[in-house]
Each structure stands twice: as C-alpha cells, then as structure tokens.
Amino acid sequence: MGRALLRRDGRHVSLTDEGASLLPRVRRALEDLDAALDDVRADRSAGILRVSMLASFVQQWLLPRLPRFQAAHSTVALYINTSTELVDFARSEHQVAIRMGSGPRWPGVEAEKLLDEWLVPVCAPSLLREHGPVDDPRRLERYPLLHGETEPWSLWRDRGPNPAAAAGIASTPNSQLDDSAAIVRSAVRGHGLALARWSLVADEVADGALAVACTVPVAHNRAYWFVYPRRVRTLATVETFRAWIFAEAAQFPSPKKAGIEKSGTRSVN
C-alpha cells in the first residue's frame, strides 16, 4: 500500500494514523466474511446448537435441568463442549458460550449476565452436626478441609463473616482437587468441608445431601455470562436455547431465597 500501518518500538506495537483509519473498515469487512461463513455452517449443521461451557457448570447445574429442555425442544440437537478457554467464534463452529467473568469485556461478542454467584461452605449434614457451624471462622480448625484451586479457603478467611477472627489461623487442606465438581462430590461423601460456588451445590442443599455451614454467603465478583457473536442472535436454535436457559436461571434461588442467608451477604473481590 505504500503506507506504514504499524509502528514498532521494541516489543511494543501500535497503529499509525493510517492504520487506525483503516482498522474499523477492515474489521467490518472481516465481520461480514465471518457472517457469510457462519451462514454456510448453519446450513450444514441445521438444527445443531453447539455450546461451550465450564465442565463444573454442566455437571452440577445444567444436567439436572437438561431433560426439561429436551422434552420441550426435541427438534434441537444440543452439542455441549466443556472448556475454560475463550471461544474463537470465527474459527469455531460453536454458536454460544457460557463463561464466568467480572463483566461483559470480551471483544467482538455480545455478553448477557445469566446468573450471579456466591461462595458457601458446605459439608455432609453429619459433619455439620459433629463440628457445628463456621459463622465464627475459628471453628474451621475443627473440620477436615477440602481445597479447590478456583475457590481457595483464603477467600473465606479474607471475606467471610469475621475476617479479623480468621487472621493468623493456619490450616492445611486435607485434600486438594483442581475440579470444582469433584470437590462437591467429595463433600457429599463426607470427606470434609468445602468452599463451593452456590450454583454447584444449591440442588444438593435442597435435597439434603449437603448442609450449609455458615449463614453469611460471600458474593462472588464473577458471574455467569451468556456469550455469542452478534451474527448468530437471530438463529432459531440460539434464540430457543437462550430463552430456555434464562427462564431456568430466573427460577434458580439465590442463597437468600433458599433460606440460608440470615445476616447479610459479604463480597469477594
């Protein structure tokens, strides 16, 4: 083109004025190309909806509700991929992703909040009867603790019902697992006290398989988001799944509505 579009300064790269002027028009052209390719994919995969989401969310929240979707929308073939990575919708055949994040900050996509999240300490009811509630965090020392990488106990110590009382308390986790759903299953089996996301344990709490050991949930600074490229918003399968899952989310009780919150919710950052 005979024009410099990028300016390099060591490892830093920035746009020149010409590059900045060209960028939005190139972006629009690429979006049009992506839309055309997506139309071809839609024709080839008619009726198939490909959704990417966290494995723990699938196992603990979606699967118990999935039969209702299948009964109401038997013509929609749902393909679910589990992943924590961001979806490159331009290269992938996935139309929708459900991810946890602190806000709609993903570039080039639409993001709608699906569910808020909280952290709660849970264990088998027998353990709670034996060791008592942990509204006073010093009582954590009574429990065998289950430790997860994404919900570490440090969050509870810093933001739980009495952080000052928790200061200086040392506890070595009895078990460490890198899978949030496995932490829940371990807690159900009575292996210890787990700090878990409310979305992953609410059904077990309602069924009596787990008991909440503290009446002050910690509000998570991340929520679940329904993410999709703008061009798929009008696809019938996307709209069908979106309407269904948002209706399910609207019926999902918060800790307060479930009756476990007694003294107000704290926040975790």
| pLDDT string in tens for the chain (269-residue length) | 778 878 888 778 888 888 788 888 877 777 667 666 666 555 444 568 999 999 999 999 999 999 999 999 998 999 999 988 888 887 788 899 999 988 777 777 889 999 999 999 999 999 999 999 988 777 888 899 998 888 888 777 766 665 545 554 445 555 677 789 999 999 999 999 999 999 999 999 999 999 999 988 889 989 999 999 888 888 899 999 999 999 999 999 999 988 886 544 444 44
Q: State whether 150 and 174 are in the same domain.
A: yes
- CATH number, residue 233: 3.40.190.10
Q: State whether 111 and 124 are in the same domain.
A: no
Q: State whether 70 and 105 are in the same domain.
A: yes
Domain that holds residue 167: 118-220+257-267
Between CA 239 and CA 213 the distance in angstroms is 39
Residue 208 three-state SS: coil
**How many distinct structural domains can be found in the chain?**
3
Q: State whether 83 and 205 are in the same domain.
A: no
Between CA 95 and CA 46 the distance in angstroms is 12
pLDDT tens profile 157-174: 766 665 545 554 445 555
Q: CA torsion, points 237, 112, 92, 51, in degrees to nearest 10?
A: -50
Q: State whether 132 and 236 are in the same domain.
A: no
Q: State whether 126 and 48 are in the same domain.
A: no
Asked if residue 162 belongs to a domain, the reply is: yes
Between CA 126 and CA 83 the distance in angstroms is 34
Tokens at 108, concatenated:
């080039």
Tokens at 208, concatenated:
């009596």
Residues in Cβ contact with 67 at an 8 Å cutoff, skipping those fewer than 6 apart: none
Asked if residue 95 belongs to a domain, the reply is: yes
Q: Are 73 and 205 in contact (CB under 8 A)?
A: no
Residue 233: which of 68, 38, 47, 62 has the closest Cα?
A: 38
Q: State whether 134 and 212 are in the same domain.
A: yes
Asked if residue 123 belongs to a domain, the reply is: yes
Asked if residue 55 belongs to a domain, the reply is: yes
Q: State whether 45 and 99 are in the same domain.
A: yes
Asked if residue 1 belongs to a domain, the reply is: no
Q: State whether 159 and 262 are in the same domain.
A: yes
Residue 134: which of 182, 59, 192, 175 has the closest Cα?
A: 192
Q: State whether 200 and 241 are in the same domain.
A: no
Strands 145-148 and 193-197: parallel
Q: State whether 188 and 241 are in the same domain.
A: no
99 strand-pairing partners: 225
Between CA 200 and CA 164 the distance in angstroms is 28
Asked if residue 167 belongs to a domain, the reply is: yes
Q: Which long-range contacts (CB under 8 A, 24 or more apart) does 246-252 make?
A: 246/112, 246/114, 248/65, 248/68, 249/114, 249/115, 249/224, 252/61, 252/115, 252/199, 252/202
203 strand-pairing partners: none
Residues in Cβ contact with 178 at an 8 Å cutoff, skipping those fewer than 6 apart: 148, 149
CB atoms within 10 A of CB 230: 13
Asked if residue 99 belongs to a domain, the reply is: yes
Asked if residue 92 belongs to a domain, the reply is: yes
Q: State whether 58 and 176 are in the same domain.
A: no
